[in-house]
Structure 1
Amino acid sequence: MDAGEVRERAADLPTEPGVYQFLARDDAGGEDRVLYVGKAVDLRDRVRSYADPRSERIRRMVARADDLDVAVTDTETQALLLEANLIKRHQPRYNVRLKDDKSYPLVQLTAHEFPRIEITRDPDDDATVYGPYTDKGRVETVVKALRETYGLRGCSDHKFRGRDRPCLDYEVGICTAPCTGEIDEPSYAGDVSSVRRFFEGETGVLADPLRREMERAAQDEEFERAANHRDRLEAVEAFHGGGGEAVTAPEGGGERAVDVLGATVEGDEATVARLHAADGQLVDRERHTLAAPEGEDRIGAVFAAFVPQYYAERDLPDALLLSERPGDAELAAWLEAEGVDVRVPGAGREAKLVDLALKNARRGVSARDDEGRALAEALGLEGRIERVEGFDVSHAQGRAVVGSDVTFVDGSPEKSDYRRKKLDETNDDYANMRSLVRWRAERAVEGRDDRPDPDLLLVDGGEGQLGAARDALAETGWDVPVVALAKEEELVVTPTRSPVSEANGTLSRAERSYRTHDWADDAPHLHLCQRVRDEAHRFAVQYHQSLRDEVSTALDEVPGVGPETRRRLLRRFGSVENVRDASTEELTRVDGVGEATADAIVSRL
């Protein structure tokens, strides 16, 4: 759309509140793609302002737009919430979009009869959770010291069930083996209570035993052991008072839920850190990245974009503690109407919490930002690479052929955007890769894929796989950069031309040219490519194995395992996956499975 067309369309719009969408027409006849969503107090005035955009980014958006759609609302607050929902639904390329990055670990005590202690980023719903913690190494040291002192189990439910003798954890002294009755439930519950007291702030529960062990080792002239206890003691004593401690909740006036938000802007990216307190204890932490808004009050604009998008599908807290007030009157009115107390503390305990959130937000502007910029520069692309999709194929001599399509955003896996596909059974890696990429490309071109287009495609393999992927892109007209990364020498292979431009030109497949990049082992952009490649490989192999397991082919191919033995194994372990996890000793307890057969099962699976 040009300036004249924008003014012409704006003249026909009402002067009421509402939401507007700039759309790009789908040439294939599918649904138009949403480029930008905005809210307005006065739709006519707001849309007219796009005839002379204030930034180059918005100017490019308007130039790409083919159409405009509006929705009138009764109130400005309705426009605010509708805008947030549309942004989350359509993920428009030119909006400030919210992306989660849960990057700090928690410690959980599970709700089992004999609770398990573990470090996690995705706690169970019914677990008792402590954290977040900013120093993962210190948390690991403390949890290990707690297990050595109080013997809480750390094993999975599968390993815990059905044991008739303790595992190695018991032998090395980090578990009291409740699985085999080496400790009774009341005694184990007492140890769990001590661990809870430590995480609730009673440092001496762990520090005192460590100090006694350190002194005893020093008296026995076991100086290396004493030094180990000293190092652990230092970590434990710093746990509730230094950079790795669990933060404590604000002392609000009867508020049951408080969120603390800190934001920072670096270049064209913003990061928001959220700490969440419930019933007086901080129980959750998240970090989110957004495209940085333009203008003078950028931090206020970040909050104005983040808050409605984040809370449109979540319960609002009783209070929000912010480093700056959002510069949005409609947002302020909505929060006030919902009974949310918005505070910008200047001093005291609440201000310290906001400072901690700011510290966490600044940590978000990390090496991964450098990775995306470095990769774009190394490949000769503009800006930074934010969204990468990785592809791999897995099969067994042409059987159970599957493909994976994983997504990384800002260097982190975006698992909600992972996809997988069964492919035609053929023992041709190039044909399989071409089929997989063509499937993704067709869905993108036809508007049937709900994910935004990536900045880069990465295929697992070399020139052959890259050529197959480029064939698929050329056939469908999906113009997205694509590279390959082979495992053998970790060399990145890139084409010298766009596959779509080659398809429209005169070059034959044999005349295509490639470049091979031998990047340094410690190059951040190589590390990003490796993570994407390895995750695509893992996801493909996992899916392939699950398909094989569905028909028990994995067990059928093991020498010495006949139909009856297979049935006994599945009755004993429940699934082929559990058979794969079982030890040789556990396998030999099944009737008909001797040591040789057990060794064969372990080797094949």
Structure 2
Amino acid sequence: TAAREAAGEAEDALARLCGLERGPAGEEAAPLTIDCFDVSNLQGTHVVASRVRFRGGHPDRTGYRRFRIRDVRGQDDFRSMNEVVGRSLRRGLDEGELPDLVVIDGGAAQLGSALEARDDAGAWDVRIVALAKARAERRLRGQHKAASEERLILAPDAEPIVLERHSALRHLLERLRDEAHRFALAYHRKERGKLRSRLDSIAGVGPVKRKALLARFGSVQGICQASEEELAGVAGISPALARAILASLRQDAG
């Protein structure tokens, strides 16, 4: 079919650019397994991430995963990406199921963070690249920024490769990134609803205090791990309310 031919064309182009070997599967090249990660947060609060997997140019939902960020407080997309890529690759090593390629949504800095996670995990054979979004012409901090197309970054210090509009390769990578973003955003909305209900059930915690707590500690888990003194350091949180918050959340946690 036309869709299958386009997927094969895109995978061939991607394999050539990334130096991937595609072993034979019958008379055709074996389909590529590609993972893509996306980090989602709301003003630095309750950070989550997603991994989607495409196989043969199409979604393979058995490889979709969701992550709660454990080790990062507040908004730090680089460290969050480092954490989820490392966790995913370590699990892949344990289970003997690593992707051929990982695509990171972002630029050279995000790519560098993901490569560090890969090396720390010991998954050196996994190729990682970044997909930098197209940008419209704009002004940023008083400076003119020219428009740019979608770009594929093969290494942090490499010149980005501009992806041709309407090409099968660009279409595949955009679908992959958009699916990772959709999956992460859906998870974030679900978790955000849960944490709001947990905090709102505590007497004395309204929308303003809830927002201040999440901005300071990043998530309900971060609040649970804080001390009474740290909570009481947030504007509007008294020592008595800090004790009540911790007692309620830790009881809910089991």
TM-score class, shorter: 0.5 to 0.7
Gaps of 5+ in 2: 23-28, 136-149, 201-205, 208-254
Look up the equivalent residue of 2:102 and give its one-letter code. Answer: L
Equivalent-residue separation in structure 1 for 2:62 and 2:89 (angstroms): 19
Q: Deviations over 1:524-557 (max 9, x none)?
A: 111111111111111111111111111337xx8x
Question: Which residues in structure 2 correspond to 1:329-408 (within 5 Å)?
Answer: 365-383=4-22, 386-408=32-54
- Based on CA coordinates, which of the two structures has the bigger radius of gyration? 1
2:111 aligns with: 466
% identical aligned pairs: 36
2:131 aligns with: 485
Question: Which residues in structure 2 correspond to 1:405-444 (within 5 Å)?
Answer: 405-424=51-70, 425-444=73-92
How far is the alpha carbon of 1:458 from its aligned partner?
Answer: 0.3
SS in 1 for 2:46: strand
Matched, 1:549 2:193: yes
SS in 2 for 1:514: coil
Look up the equivalent residue of 1:439 and give its one-letter code. Answer: R
Q: Deviations over 1:200-234 (max 9, x none)?
A: xxxxxxxxxxxxxxxxxxxxxxxxxxxxxxxxxxx
Check conservation: 1:426, 1:432, Cα contact below 8 A. Answer: no
Check conservation: 1:404, 1:419, Cα contact below 8 A. Answer: yes
**Which one scores higher on RCO, CA 8 angstroms, separation ≥ 6?**
2
Equivalent-residue separation in structure 2 for 1:365 and 1:485 (angstroms): 23
Check conservation: 2:18, 2:127, Cα contact below 8 A. Answer: no
2:218 aligns with: none
The TM-score, its normalising length taken from structure 2, stands at: 0.64
Q: Deviations over 1:167-191 (max 9, x none)?
A: xxxxxxxxxxxxxxxxxxxxxxxxx
The total of aligned residue pairs comes to 177
Gaps of 5+ in 1: 1-361, 496-511, 557-561, 564-605
Q: Deviations over 1:26-74 (max 9, x none)?
A: xxxxxxxxxxxxxxxxxxxxxxxxxxxxxxxxxxxxxxxxxxxxxxxxx
Question: Which residues in structure 2 correspond to 1:147-162 (within 5 Å)?
Answer: none
Look up the equivalent residue of 2:68 and give its one-letter code. Answer: K
Q: Deviations over 1:428-482 (max 9, x none)?
A: 110000001010111122x1x47x3211100111111101000001111102001
The one of 99, 103, 106 aligned to 1:454: 99
Check conservation: 2:89, 2:98, Cα contact below 8 A. Answer: no
Return closer, same or farther for 1:378/1:532 CA change in 2, 3 Å cut-off. same
How far is the alpha carbon of 1:365 from its aligned partner?
Answer: 4.3
Equivalent-residue separation in structure 2 for 1:527 and 1:364 (angstroms): 11
Matched, 1:494 2:154: yes
How far is the alpha carbon of 1:390 from its aligned partner?
Answer: 0.4
Question: Which residues in structure 2 correspond to 1:280-299 (within 5 Å)?
Answer: none
Check conservation: 1:387, 1:455, Cα contact below 8 A. Answer: yes
RMSD after superposition = 2.3
How far is the alpha carbon of 1:363 from its aligned partner?
Answer: 5.8
Check conservation: 1:458, 1:485, Cα contact below 8 A. Answer: yes
Equivalent-residue separation in structure 1 for 2:50 and 2:82 (angstroms): 13
